[in-house]
Structure 1
Amino acid sequence: MKRFSALLAAVCSVLPFTAAHAQNSVTLYGVVDDGISYIHNSGGQSSQWKMSAGNLSGDRWGIKGSEDLGGGLAAIFRLESGFDINSGQPANNNRLFGRLAIVGLASKQYGTLSLGRQYDPVTDVVQPITADNYSGVFAPPGDIDNYDDSARFDNAVKWTSPNWSGATLEAMYALGGVAGSVASGQTWSAGASFNAGSLTAAAGFLHVDNGNARTATRGTTTADSFFNSSVNLAYASASGINITRVGAQYVAGSITAGGAYSYTQYSSDAASAFRGSEHFQNGSVFLNWMSTPNFQVVGGYNYTRSGGNSSATYHQANLGIDYILTKRTDVYLGGGYTHASGNNGQGPAEAVVGSFDVDSGARSQLLTFAGMRHRF
């Protein structure tokens, strides 16, 4: 509490300075999102009602700012903290700024160079053109391809290009920092997007070293965990993770349609609990209808299939409704249904809806929610 109070006092002391010097800026912002959800098949139980925070957007508060250095160059920073609105507890493994923490330079001519804890390029370029803009309920079961940015990355250096006639490039490298092994725990990624009016397309690749077992504990890495549900938990001892994602969307008046494909691979070594490799392929489509400026309906479908060490198939259908009350506030309904078959490497595959990561203990799961979101 003392640390939080001191931080707010520092922000308040800066804000008057911001008004006096237009070339510099500091902004306090955030999102509060809460609701009630119903889950049919949760942890082996037939039903569950609970408070459900962050259904559309993770609850957060943050500070961002810039300083004009002249010549089209600016110093930038951004600190963003996640929290659970229903308990007041910090999110992201109890980190103060677990969502984002960067400092860097932004140039109109050369792009932006940022250092710190941040999102990977695949998330940056592909996610905005998928239904994930509505909710993580549209992510593949267990978010196996980081569709809903379940994983963020520490110790990362990232470059983002300027917009070159609709094209944008990104590249990132995260240092593992393990003595005696440069590669242990490292992450590298690259992505590109292109916008041509109504059509936007993007693609990217992400590689994560899951820790060299000879020099560090397996799982000691720059990435947050990718293994948050029964969908892929059997492969948490993988030596490396590779994810390729492509996506596209087309806007025609009040209708936006899009699709994405991902290939996720977990490789093994002598320290892994499984042998060979395991891969997941996911294909998704969505349709968004903005029937009025204040009302939208979005529907989607995910098909996920694993292969290699084991084999499982997941079918997932999703639906969401959002009513915009003001520029800052909206109310919503949403949900998804998943059916699973096959084996997940530990036993019979369990249904899991999107990135909510609730193991069903059954072959099917229905998850619905209703809530309210406010931005400031």
Structure 2
Amino acid sequence: MQKQYKPALKLAAVAATLLSGAAMAQSSVTLYGQADMFVGGFKDVGGADRAWVANSGGMQTSYWGIKGTEDLGSGNKAIFDLNGFFRTDSGSMGRFNGDSMFSRNAYVGLQNDKYGTVKLGRNTTPYFISTILFNPLVDSYVFSPAIFHTYLVSAVPGKLNDPGIIGDSGWNNSVLYSTPNFGGLTANVIYSFGEQPGKTSENKWGGNLMYFSGPFAATLAYQQVKFNIQPVGDLGVPTGFDRQDAVQGGITYDFKVVKLFAQAQYIKTRINGAANGGDLKHTNGQIGASVPVGAGNVLVSYSYDKTKNDVTDFKRNTAAIAYDYNLSKRTDVYAAYYYDKRNDAEHGDTFGVGMRHKF
């Protein structure tokens, strides 16, 4: 009797192996990221001494992640991405001490060919995506004027504290919906939940439109942040903060011999109490270019900003130039210089040479 079952058992084992292979072929998991390190010097606006550094994330903040998809059939896919920053200079996780492990992205979602994509978790905001895609130095927190004018704090001591965009480049507890591509046009909408009893949300919501057609691209982005209490973990939030509205537009055009960039932005930060300086009004613009030279690109950018409240104001001029040379499809080396001048203080600058490797 046992001999009669052996062929059937073998066939069952072969079938199970084939079915397992078919299931695995419909799913994928990818480990990916990049390591960026530079050597140089920097001096803050109004700072006395220059600091010499071997630091992480010159052209782009270093990160690593695991992402994957599973084909569910009928044009549906399950997706996930767990993606965090790290510092190559010290081997530490996060952009700063206390940053979460997967602060770049941490979501699970569903994707459909006809109806778009929904992601649940910590998501990169559409506003940040519009900011980085429409300036030549992308998301460099060391050399990009557009990033400095949008996401970093600038202050006139005791009179004016301009926090830039409040709420980070990624939002916790969020739902992000992205439309399919309609002839080059896409839309993204994000909403962040408050997760407190009696409080539906923190009034954190935003979105963008992006259009890509041949050499031309354009974007329009908006977001609103309002907290009933000062948010934990948001750096540089002014005393008396009530609400912030931000709107940004950007365009690019690639002439092949040069790619041109332009951005304009307005941020209004509402502050309770005249003693806290009143509402902040931040207006800035950026122009830039990327010029192919050899196996790399010369990148130039200039930004102008005026920020004011009921007490005072300041003007800020920022410029940067870099050369990014590709050693291969995954590895590049760069040299960059950044100049920053606020009208009420001595100028600051940063320069460095570095290397970036994608994996």
**Distance (whole Å) between structure 2 residues aligned to residue 18 and residue 88 of structure 1:** 38
Of residues 275, 278, 286 in structure 2, which corresponds to 1:276?
Answer: 278
1:278 maps to a residue whose letter is: L
1:151, distance to aligned residue in structure 2 (A): 2.9
**Normalized against structure 2, the TM-score is what?**
0.84
2:105 maps to a residue whose letter is: L
Matched, 1:135 2:140: yes
Secondary structure of 2:284's counterpart equals: strand
Q: Which residue does 1:374 correspond to in 2?
A: 357
**Distance (whole Å) between structure 1 residues aligned to residue 285 and residue 190 of structure 2:** 25
Q: Which residue does 2:119 correspond to in 1?
A: 114
CA contact (8 A) 1:295 1:321 kept: yes
2:320 maps to a residue whose letter is: N
1:273, distance to aligned residue in structure 2 (A): 6.1
2:287 maps to a residue whose letter is: V
Greater share of strand: 2
1:282, distance to aligned residue in structure 2 (A): 0.7
2:349 maps to a residue whose letter is: L
Query: What 5-or-longer segments of structure 1 have no aligned partner?
Result: 1-16, 228-232, 343-361
CA contact (8 A) 1:143 1:150 kept: no
Matched, 1:155 2:173: yes
1:21, distance to aligned residue in structure 2 (A): 2.1
Matched, 1:340 2:342: yes
Note the alpha carbon deviations across 1:53-92, whole angstroms, 9 max, x for none.
1111211110000000100000000001111111111114
CA contact (8 A) 1:259 1:285 kept: yes
Secondary structure of 1:98's counterpart equals: coil
Superposition pairs of residues 149-298 of structure 1, within 5 angstroms: 150-183=168-201, 185-209=202-226, 211-213=227-229, 218-220=230-232, 225=234, 227=236, 235=238, 237-269=240-272, 274-292=276-294, 294-298=295-299
Secondary structure of 2:196's counterpart equals: coil
Superposition pairs of residues 35-184 of structure 1, within 5 angstroms: 35-41=38-44, 44-92=47-95, 93-133=98-138, 135-136=140-141, 137-140=143-146, 142-144=148-150, 150-183=168-201
Query: What 5-or-longer segments of structure 2 have no aligned partner?
Result: 1-19, 152-163
Q: 1:49 to 1:18 in 2, by over 3 A?
A: farther
Query: Which structure has the greater CA radius of gyration?
Result: 2
Note the alpha carbon deviations across 1:296-325, whole angstroms, 9 max, x for none.
101110001012333110001110101100
Q: Which residue does 1:11 correspond to in 2?
A: none
Percentage identity across aligned positions? 27
Q: 1:267 to 1:134 in 2, by over 3 A?
A: closer
What CA RMSD, in Å, does the superposition of the two structures yield over aligned residues?
Answer: 2.4
CA contact (8 A) 2:145 2:318 kept: no
**Higher mean Cα deviation, 70-79 or 50-59?**
50-59
**Distance (whole Å) between structure 2 residues aligned to residue 78 and residue 177 of structure 1:** 22
Secondary structure of 2:49's counterpart equals: strand
1:288, distance to aligned residue in structure 2 (A): 0.6
1:266, distance to aligned residue in structure 2 (A): 0.7
Secondary structure of 2:355's counterpart equals: strand
CA contact (8 A) 1:119 1:152 kept: yes
Q: Which residue does 2:305 correspond to in 1?
A: 304
1:182, distance to aligned residue in structure 2 (A): 2.7
Of residues 29, 33, 52 in structure 2, which corresponds to 1:30?
Answer: 33
CA contact (8 A) 2:45 2:341 kept: no
Secondary structure of 1:283's counterpart equals: strand
Secondary structure of 1:127's counterpart equals: helix
Q: 1:331 to 1:317 in 2, by over 3 A?
A: same
1:340, distance to aligned residue in structure 2 (A): 0.5
**Normalized against structure 1, the TM-score is what?**
0.80
2:234 maps to a residue whose letter is: S
Note the alpha carbon deviations across 1:118-158, whole angstroms, 9 max, x for none.
111122244212224273322347443568x9532100101
CA contact (8 A) 1:151 1:226 kept: no
